[in-house]
Structure 1
Amino acid sequence: MAITRQRVREKEVDIKLSASGKGNPAQVLFDFRSGAFKPDPKQDVVFDLLSLPSRIVHKEDLEKEDKKKETVLIHGEKKGEGETKESSANAKEMEELYGSHMTPEELAKLDAQPNPFNYSDRVSQTFRVVVKDLAIQTDPPPGTTFSANVGFSDIYDAYEKDYVRILAKRREEEMKREKEKERERERKAGKSSQKASRPTSEEVGKKQAPPLPATAAARAEAEGAAQEGPLPLMRTVVTLERMVSQNIFDEVTQDYKYWEDSSDEYRNLEGSLLPLWRFPCEGARALVVTDICWSPVYHDLFAAAYTSENVSGASDARGMLCLFTLKNPGIPERVLQPPCGVTSVQFHPTRASVLAAGRVDGAVMVIDVCSPRSSKVITSTVVSGSHLQPVCQVRWVPTDPGESLCFYSVSEDGRVSEWLVRPSTLVHADILDFLACAENSKKAKEAKRFILEGRATCIALNPNDKTDMLVGVDTGEVLQLRTSSTHALTRYHAHTGTVRTIAWNAHHDKVFASCSLDWTLKIWIRDSLSPLVTLDLGGPVASVSWSPYSSSVVAAATDEGRVHVYDLFLRKCQPLCSQNLNQRRRLGLSCVAFNPFSPIVLAGGEKGYLMTLKLSPNLRRPYRDAKGAEEMRQSEIELCKMERIIATSKEWEGPGEGKMRSSVVC
């Protein structure tokens, strides 16, 4: 009897594979409220690992079903009615779908075979990793408290000891190498059997020690080179200190680089000053800043001179000379402690590390601050012609390469002196002596117009002509002096009070400014007795400074603590900015100076007050002319601006109307 195998369509079977995230029943937690351990109240979590909602027939089940069908056919059992209906329904569906494309034999063959797409003969299972937690409570390890203070001296001593240890180790290594070389020589010479006399440690030391330098200068240089062990550490410490300082004052640094006052767009001409860094110094609260000077080489370096506010005599005056940098405003870079107060200071125009300073006791100093350990100082003495009264101002004279350094000093004793810098001394020559000229004039019974009255208070040198000098007098006059061959004097009856400061314009060599205690600031042109512009600041004017980026911008500081900024090309009558620096407590200002590289102003005064201020865009806006401004250079534009101010000034009488009064000093 032939057995025919008839297969029917498989039933749809849904297979789901899940896992239970049952927690550890032995896991407990400590309850601080009840003070006892309680079981972990975690709930069972069921993870759905695999879900196959499709018709899946296992191979083993298919074989069992075939065997069952064969036994049914052998015994003659009939199929169930439900199974017959299902097979007929499947056959109809297959015929409706694929009847037009396939023959009935092909449809029967396709319906008879198992599903080839969702067939699977095994089920994949994942291994469940059981997590175990074990809590152990132990006693904390014993601890000790350690504290120590470390300063620069301790670090220096430690590095010195380490440097000596390194040198000793190098000597031992050199001795070993020398011994090995000696043994190799003995082996080559065939003297290995004999014990050759080996050099002692002293002899090796003598061989390795370098010869002493012949001169004292060379020995000092060698000793300095041997002591340069900790210097790299000091440089690293200074760099780190500047980095920390810049991080602390990050907002101020961002304002210094990128601040632009948006309110200037709604104001026609007026501007403002933004306070940046304030430079404190230990012991400066009891002193007054007498003079400040920016470095002509480094844009962030400046010097400040301090002296006592109330000085009864030269011996009672305390003071110091400090160098500050914008990279580290918290502490000065160099601090020099002279025996008395410092009244004036100025950097050399070409040598960045050389300064000239004047003191309260009448002495002048030349300082080289290049060395970080000790600065070289040359001080004048009474024997070498030092002043007898406090020095009011010192100014360098531009010199050519190869010439000796030279500077001028003005003192309250009536002398204007020229100083030549020698390797170890200062040699002076008096240019003017007010007291001596007055005595000689009285003896000779000359006219009053030839008498030099008063005492010099300030001095200014023409930047383009070093023989052209201006001297301010406490009687209010300004003297123009030629130092070339004969000293021809030109008197400007400038003020009714003491002249405090005179400043030449950096772009026009015939224009200068003077300020006085009579509350006025005046702009002059050389060889004219009438001022171009007269400005009333409402208080005693302490200092004046021309802007390096514009020929018409000038700043002045008053004793009332206000800074006035004028742009004579835009507006002569009123300042573009008049700002009180200290709102809480008014402090008198004594000096003001423009930075030669950046649009910032430095002001100093009482109580050691020293602060930088940034100019808003309206105060530093470049001039744009409609006709040919792009073709002209910046220097030509600034020169043309000043020429327009001179041509349109109503107060200027002109070179033909005003007559000069000159005299020759014997």
Structure 2
Amino acid sequence: MRNLRGFVGMVKKGVREPEVVIRLTSTCARVKDEVRYNFTSGVYEVVRDQQLTLDLLTLPSRVIHKGDHLEARLLYEPLRKEQDNSADEANRELEELYGGIVSKEELARLDSQPNPFNFSERVSQTTRLNIKNLAIQTEPRQHCIFSQCEPWRNIRCLHQRLREDNRKGKGAREGKGKRKGEGKRKRQRKRSTQGKTVPRVAPEPLPPPVLRTHSYGDESLDLPGIRRTVMVLERMVNQNIYDDITQDFRYWEDASDEYRCMEGSLLPLWKFHHDKSRALLVSAVCWSPVYHDLFAAAYATGELGGPLGEGMLCIYTLKNPSTPERVLRAPCGVTCVHFHPKHGSVVAAGWADGTVVVYDTRAVSPLMISSSALGGKHLLPVSQVRWVYTEPGEDLCLYSVSLDGRVTQWHLHASDLVYTDILNFTTVDQLTKPPPAFDKVHLEGTGTCIAFRPDDEGVLLVGVDTGVVFQCSTSSTTHALIRYPAHTAAVREIAWNEHHYSVFISCSVDWTVKVWHQHHLSPLVTLDLGGAVAGVTWSPYSSSVFVAITDEGRVHVYDLFLRKCKPLCVQTLVHRRRVAAACVAFNPFHPIILVGGDKGTLLSLKLSPNLRKVHKDAKGADDSKLKEIEQCKMERLIATSKG
């Protein structure tokens, strides 16, 4: 109120009203005596104060003095006249345009309204600070060794200093009452020891310090869980490196299959190798029936029964294709390998010197139990090993077949393998003896492969190097034998069908692959692949699909339900150089196969949609319905083959 009265008084006295200018500014707060480190000069420098006041908005005064002052008349009179002239001219133009339509009062009212189409808002213009980012790479700091004495001297000095501190602390904790009697006891000890020599007791020597040497992968590391952490990081890095292959493994679908009705292709995925596997032969591969991404590969020197040399057994995973999870060295070549059907960490292998070995791969240094010369070890290379399922609480059991003519059963005890010979084939020297009676089956040749029926492990198939396939029973003391005149050369592989348990397949060096029914001595299907067949395996998702490989490195994929005379796919492993294939394995969970060969070749391939096409009635069906559909497909094949 007082300010308002003063303002009215100034107006009555004729005092000129002061001009008011409103200015909005912004000032950046600074810390006083601020310093920053200069990486170029290597010293701390004081930050200079900068005037960072910015004019954001400036509004001039709107006070217009219309008194008798000369300055006001000279300043505002021309401006007023110019505005009046421009307003009169605008009014005349409007009257010329809209004189016959709108009256003068209406035009004046419209002209007094603001123009909504020519609106401009007052903006502020400020100084823009350009912030520059400069990347600076610093030099490493200088470091020096602060102690140059031996480790045992450091430990000894610390021990002596600790003893001195304990001695001082013990004396400080004694009460004042004890200190009063110390003088008297000292004088008594001094009188008793006068004229006597007190022997000096030497201090006890310190025990030698225990020096621990740490190495990568050693269990004595003081960091708990470091190995698992490093393994996870390694897998993450490898999955980033092979991200395109991982995406193909999960999502690849060949679009060209839509234009090819009964033809497919194989997509190469990961290549698995080890540092010293280039000069070795991948003699066998086996997928884990428990873990979806785990498999084992056996490496040997040369062909089966060739010269001895160092071999190895590698455990790989699809999550880390660059490095094996376990590398198990062997003094000779590893010729065969097989995972236990229930225990995912137990692996059985056969060596080229006839040894049967069982590994437990859970630990970093896997446990190994092997057969010995006094415990029934084979005399020649082991051709194949196979686990059989045992009830909980029973000893694990496996079978092996060797080139020495023996088919042996092994029971795994706590620390050894106990053997029992099931069959003993006749060697070449024994063939000169008189033939046996007509009611007995003559076991000629040597066993090369074995296979157990999936639903009855008492039924065993044995392939022989003479081309014959024997079926025997292991559950009875008298073995009932059935002789199939299968091939004219050595049998390489035998495999039971996983959906129809009465059907099995065999392959041989005589270029043929034959499909058999258990109760018929003539084959259902005979296929000529144009080369020595190295391996064959059934598909886990279809009863009529199987994959076979030849020694030349060609992969053949057949679907007997669609057509029996021609394969759906024939593809060479490596196009640039010749690779001899030796083994093949089908993943039980994913539509991929593993093919091993010479020069350490171990390649994974994915089947295209036409090669893994399911039956039209199988979509949305449960497990029992799927099993019935697959059995019907094989029954149809058996019926048409008999006719």
TM-score by length of 1: 0.67
| Partner residue of 2:426 out of 429, 432, 435 | 435
- Which amino acid is the alignment partner of residue 233 of structure 1? I
- The whole-number CA distance in structure 1 between the counterparts of 2:61 and 2:554 is 99
| Equivalent residue number for residue 38 of structure 1 | none
Structure 2 counterparts to residues 611-630 of structure 1, below 5 A: 611-625=603-617
Instruction: Give yes or no for contact 1:441–1:450 (8 Å, CA) kept in 2.
Output: no
Identify which of 604, 625, 630 aligns with 2:596: 604
1:234 aligns with 2:238: no
Aligned partner of 1:259: which letter? W
User: Which of 262, 280, 285 pairs up with 2:273?
Assistant: 280
What letter corresponds to residue 282 of structure 2 in structure 1? V
Name the residue aligned to 2:260. Answer: 267
1:545 maps to which residue? 537
* Contact 1:311–1:317 (Cα < 8 Å) also in 2: no
Structure 1 counterpart of 2:315? 323
TM-fit CA distance, 1:450: 2.5
Residue 376 of structure 1 pairs with residue 367 of structure 2: yes
Q: Output the CA distance in 2 between the equivalents of 1:407 and 1:648.
A: 37
Please state how far the C-alpha of 1:585 moved relative to its aligned partner: 1.4
Give the whole-Å Cα distance in 2 for the aligned partners of 1:600 and 1:413: 35
Aligned-residue offset at 1:62: 2.6
- Aligned residue for 1:257? 250
CA distance, structure 2, for counterparts of residue 471 and residue 639 of structure 1: 25
Residues 625, 268 of structure 1: CA spacing in aligned structure 2 closer, same or farther, 3 A cutoff?
A: same
Report the 3-state secondary structure (helix = DSSP H, G, I; strand = E; otherwise coil) of the residue aligned with 2:459: strand
Residue 577 of structure 1, aligned match among 549, 555, 569: 569
2:599 is paired with a residue whose SS is helix
Tell me: CA distance 1:539–1:226, structure 2 relative to 1, closer, same or farther (3 Å). closer
Q: Which runs of 5+ in 2 are unaligned?
A: 1-22, 24-54, 74-80, 116-121, 132-136, 144-150, 180-216
Question: Which whole-Å CA distance do the structure 2 matches of 1:415 and 1:290 have between them?
Answer: 20
Which residue of structure 1 aligns with residue 63 of structure 2?
A: 59
Displacement of 1:333 = 1.0
CA contact (8 A) 1:441 1:451 kept: no
Contact residue 455 and residue 473 of structure 1 kept, 8 A? yes
CA gap 1:393/1:145 in 2 versus in 1, 3 angstroms:
farther
Residues 438 and 452 in structure 1, CA contact (< 8 A), matched pair in contact too? no
The one-letter amino acid of 2:63's match is K
Q: Which amino acid aligns with 1:333?
A: E
Amino acid at match of 1:309: G
- Give the corresponding residue for 1:401: 392
**Taking structure 1 as reference, are residues 193 and 437 closer, same or farther at Cα in structure 2, changes over 3 Å only?**
farther
Secondary structure at 1:611's aligned position in 2? strand
RMSD between superposed Cα atoms in Å: 4.8
**Does 2:527 correspond to 1:523?**
no
Q: Name the structure 1 match of 2:483.
A: 491
* Residue from 284, 293, 296 that aligns with 1:300: 293
Which amino acid in 2 is paired with 1:641?
Answer: K
Tell me the residue number matched to 2:455: 464
Cα distance in 2 between the residues matched to 1:645 and 1:562: 26
Q: Do the aligned partners of residues 258 and 481 (structure 1) sit closer, same or farther apart at CA in structure 2, a change above 3 Å counting?
A: same
Partner of 1:4: none
Q: Equivalent residue of 1:509, what SS?
A: coil
Alpha-carbon distance in structure 2 between the residues aligned to 1:593 and 1:546: 9
State the one-letter code of the partner of 2:426: L
Are residues 1:454 and 2:445 paired?
yes
Q: Equivalent residue for 1:505?
A: 497
| Preserved contact between residue 289 and residue 305 of structure 1 (Cα < 8 Å) | yes
What displacement does 1:232 show?
A: 1.6
Aligned-partner residue type, residue 297 of structure 2: A
Task: Report the counterpart of residue 568 of structure 1 in structure 2.
Answer: 560
Tell me what 2:354 maps to.
Answer: 362
Letter of the aligned partner of 1:619 in structure 2?
A: L
8 Å contact kept, 1:344–1:394: yes
Q: Using a 3 Å threshold, how does the CA distance of structure 1 residues 620 and 98 change in structure 2: closer, same or farther?
A: same
Q: 2:422 matched to 1:418? A: no
CA distance in 1: counterparts of 2:325 and 2:86, whole angstroms: 102
Give the AA of the match of 1:385.
Answer: G
Contact kept in structure 2, 1:473 and 1:499, CA below 8 Å: yes
Q: State how many pairs are aligned.
A: 512
- Residue identity matched to 1:342: V
Q: 1:594 to 1:192 in 2, by over 3 A?
A: farther
Q: Distance in 1 between matches of 2:177 and 2:265?
A: 94
1:168-183 equivalences in 2 (<5 Å): none
Distance in structure 2 (CA, Å) of the matches to 1:590 and 1:382: 29
> Do 1:438 and 1:453's aligned partners in 2 also have CA atoms closer than 8 Å?
no
Specify the SS of the correspondent of 2:458: strand
Name structure 1 gaps, 5 residues minimum: 1-16, 18-47, 70-81, 102-106, 118-123, 134-139, 147-160, 196-223, 654-666
Offset of residue 368 of structure 1? 0.3
Amino acid at match of 2:593: V
Deviation at 1:633, TM superposition (A): 1.8
Query: How much identity, in percent, do the aligned residues show?
Result: 53
Query: The residue matched to 1:244 in structure 2 has which SS?
Result: helix
Structure 1 residues 292 and 89: alpha-carbon distance in aligned structure 2, compared to 1, 3 A threshold: closer
Cα deviation digits, residues 268-320 of structure 1 (max 9, x gap): 11100000000011111111011000000111110000100168866x32211
Q: C-alpha offsets along residues 418-469 of structure 1, whole Å, 9 cap, x if unaligned? A: 0000111000000000138995994785349632111111000011111010
Contact between 2:56 and 2:125, CA under 8 Å: does it hold in 1? no
Amino acid of the structure 2 residue aligned with 1:306: Y
